Every structure is written in structure tokens, then in C-alpha cells.
Amino acid sequence: MQKNKSVAFHTLGCKLNFSETSTLSRMLEADGFEKKAFDDIADVYVINTCSVTENADKECRQIVRRIQRKAPESMVVITGCYAQLKPKEIAEIPGVDLILGAAEKFNITEHLKELTKGDSTKISSCEISEVTGFNNAYSLNDRTRTFLKVQDGCDYTCAFCTIPQARGKSRSDSIANVLESAKKLADTGNVKEIVLTGINLGDFGKGPDGNRKNEESFLHLVQALDDLDGVDRYRISSIEPNLLSDDIIDFVAKSKRFMPHFHIPLQSGSDHILGMMRRRYKSDLYQERVEHIKQVMPDCAIGVDVIVGFPGEEESYFQETYDFLHALDVSYFHVFTYSERARTKALEIQPVIPIHTRHERNKMLRNLSYKKQQYFTESHRGETRKVLFEEHNKNGMMEGYTDNYIRVTAPYKQEWSNQVIDWELR
């Protein structure tokens, strides 16, 4: 390929995808590609996909159609979870030139050198059982917060989830490598906050082959990062409640650099539904985790993932979830409407919840989340907290987040961009 080719990226899904997209971008730029905004005309478009819900699949198809309309001669590359799960389905989308599965996405530069527009769609993928090894990734210069990938894959078998089929076995980087990446980011002088990302972060410690060969754990990782100078703030993106130990909570409570903020997937407040989901805890363990966090960090923000409309979630079970969340001292929810995914155990469960009922329940929990968020914000009014302001100027205003994840809006000041500022919440 000519060295003056241009490339544009679009990312769907999780923080892990953003870290990987940024890494792919740096790889191609190092190989001579010019990076462009996704709305510009580029020679190559790379879409890093998610496949957690049907909407993510649908959005990918819509984006390809948009590219076809504006740049029909450009090459389109699809990678990410959707590419691993359904490569043949993607190959039928007009305009797609290359599909890279989980084992091949980081070989994108070599694949592009061999690709010519007009050839039949090339699929480069393998069985997920063959995907081993860990590819380091982090985002840089894309957002104010930097996403650092420390773990990949998952060994859990949740009934609703396709991620193990798309990402493979749980495996991690070494602490030494993570520290090296964090130091490299710190040395840029621009990174004020690093968000640790993975598919199942609390399972950190398994080597690239998926086996736990040493004594490294997620607690050891956060302890090591806390001692590393150069980065002001760290966040833990999401951690399973059964892997969030009291030791981790207590360490964050006294940490110099880890923010008082946890995001803990719940999925359901009904033990019956949790069992059908094949989750590895019950609601009482989740409640214990929240209570312990609030005991040692009263100001801590706690986010929750919850799924509505899972098969078998009759009205009484949804009410259990609603009541459980209503009583829980948490700050906000991410509410997901259940959508059927191929090759998952959930497809065998009855009764199927009507779509309109799923949407009604989603709305109820989003309304409750709004009230929780308002209450949490109001409870800190009058306090002065440290805010990391983002770089974007939005109609003369800028946004940032406090250490405990309260969103702040202020008149735009260039000198505050990507800076931690003492701010009185009012």
C-alpha cells in the first residue's frame, strides 16, 4: 500500500474497544497512514465493533451503508467482537472488504498491504479456542481519560453473554508490563487519569495462555500502580462483585491515586433470575459489597449494570430488582434491555418477555437511576472536590468529573483543559 493512504476509525462498545482502536490507529500511523476524522473522506475505514446487543450489530451495518454512500471506492475493515462472532454475516454486507477476527486485528497493517478494492471480501478469523496471547493496548490523545487494557477474555458462562465466544479465555498482561505502559503514558506529560479496562478485570493474574502461573492478582496490580509516580488519578472501569474483595475496597479507600468510584455489574436484584443468568453471586453478597464501600468511603460513587427483560423475568422478579435497587446506596445505573444472542443459554429459558414490557422496565429503572444520581450529587453540594476538566469546548462550556464521578459543567477556559482543578459543587 502507498504510504500516503489515509485511515479513519469508528469504535462501538466498551472502553476496552477504545483502547484497542487507539492502538490500531498508532500502528497504522507508524506505517505511514494519515489519520482522519471518521466524517472525512478516507482511503480506509476501520470499524471496531461490539456485539453485546442486537443494536450494536445493526449500528455496524448502518455505518457501512453510510460509508458506501459517501466513499464507495474506499476500503472498509470490520474488526472486534461482531467480526469474531459473525464473519460470514458481515461478509454479506455490501462494501465490506476485510473482516479481522480476535486473533488477527493486531495484524491489520499486514492485511491492508495485501488488500485491493474490488476483490471478494476477505475473512481472516479462527476458532475462538485458538485465540491466545495478550495484546497490550491503550488510548492516547483521543479523550481526556486514558483507557489502559490490562486483561482480556472471560471464563464465565453467563446465560446472556457472547463475550467469551468473541474474546476467548481470560488472560492478562503482567504487572511489570502494565507498569511500563503506565510509565510511558505518564512520560507524555498529558495523561492525568488512567482507567483500567478489561473484560473481567477482577480475574487479573492469568497469563497469556489463560493459566494462573504466578501469584499476581488485581489487588497486587492496583498496589503497584499506586506507587508509580507521574499519574494523578486511576479508575477501575468495572469489576464483578464476587471478585471485588474487601482488601481491594480497603486499599482504594486509603489510596493516594485510585478514585473513590466503583462500577459493579449486578444484572438483577432477584436471586431467582441471577441463578438463571448463571451469575456467580446472590443479591446479599452484592449488598454487602456496597455497604462495605460506603462504610470505608462514604463519598464513593457506585455505578450498577442491570439487565431488564431477561427470559423468565416475570413481574414479581422485576419488582424484586426495582425494590433492591431503590433501597441500595448506589449512585447511578447503566440499564440494558435484554436482546437475544445466538448460541447463548438464555435462548432456552421461558417465558420470553415481550419487547414492549422490556422497554417499559428499562424506562422505570432509568427514571430511578436519574433520581439516584440527583440525590448523590445533591448530597455533595457545597463541597470542594478535584475535577478533571475535558478538552472540548461545547458552546462556550466545558465538562469534567470529580474524583467521585460527579459531572461538572463550567464556562470554558483553555487553561483548565486536561487539568485537575479544585471546584466547589454548587
Residue 181: which pLDDT band, with cuts at 50, 70 and 90?
Answer: very high
Residue 351: which pLDDT band, with cuts at 50, 70 and 90?
Answer: very high
End-to-end CA distance of the chain: 55
Residue 208: which pLDDT band, with cuts at 50, 70 and 90?
Answer: confident
Question: Is the pLDDT at 19 greater than 50, yes or no?
Answer: yes
Query: Given this model, what pLDDT does residue 214 score?
Result: 67
Question: Is the pLDDT at 80 greater than 60, yes or no?
Answer: yes
Query: In CATH, what number does 140-259 get?
Result: 3.30.750.210
- Coil, strand or helix at 402: strand
Percent of the chain with pLDDT over 70: 98
C-alpha cell at 301: 460513587
- The mean per-residue pLDDT over the stretch 42-56 comes to 86
- The mean per-residue pLDDT over the stretch 368-385 comes to 98
C-alpha cell at 214: 504466578
- The mean per-residue pLDDT over the stretch 103-120 comes to 86
H helix or E strand, kind and range, residue 401: strand 397-402
Residue 215: which pLDDT band, with cuts at 50, 70 and 90?
Answer: confident
Distance CA 267, CA 135 (A): 29
Distance CA 401, CA 387 (A): 5
Residue type, 319: Q
Percent of the chain with pLDDT over 90: 85
Question: Is the pLDDT at 418 greater than 60, yes or no?
Answer: yes
- The mean per-residue pLDDT over the stretch 376-387 comes to 97
DSSP state of 160: T
Question: Is the pLDDT at 367 greater than 70, yes or no?
Answer: yes
Q: Minimum mean pLDDT among 116-120, 288-292, 328-332: which range?
A: 116-120
- The mean per-residue pLDDT over the stretch 52-76 comes to 88
Q: Minimum mean pLDDT among 125-129, 174-178, 220-224, 407-411: which range?
A: 125-129
Model confidence pTM above 0.85? yes
Query: Given this model, what pLDDT does residue 390 score?
Result: 92
Q: Supply the mean pLDDT for the chain.
A: 93
Distance CA 151, CA 196 (A): 9
Burial status of residue 52 (CB atoms within 10 A of its CB: 0-12, 13-18, 19 or more): buried
Query: Given this model, what pLDDT does residue 1 score?
Result: 44
Query: Given this model, what pLDDT does residue 392 score?
Result: 86
Query: Given this model, what pLDDT does residue 210 score?
Result: 66
CATH 3.30.750.200 fits 264-275+296-376, yes or no: yes
Distance CA 177, CA 165 (A): 26
CATH class of 6-130: alpha beta
Q: How many CA atoms lie within 13 A of 237 on its CB side?
A: 21
Inter-CA distances, 126 with 44, 129, 318, Å: 24, 8, 39
Query: Given this model, what pLDDT does residue 207 score?
Result: 80
DSSP state of 258: B
Q: What is the 3-state secondary structure (H, E, C) of 50-115?
A: CCCCHHHHHHHHHHHHHHHHHCCCCEEEEEEHHHHHCHHHHHCCCCCCEEECCCCHHHHHHHHHCC
Residue type, 409: T
C-alpha cell at 322: 426495582
Query: Given this model, what pLDDT does residue 42 score?
Result: 95
Query: Given this model, what pLDDT does residue 217 score?
Result: 96
- Locate cell 443468568: which residue? 277
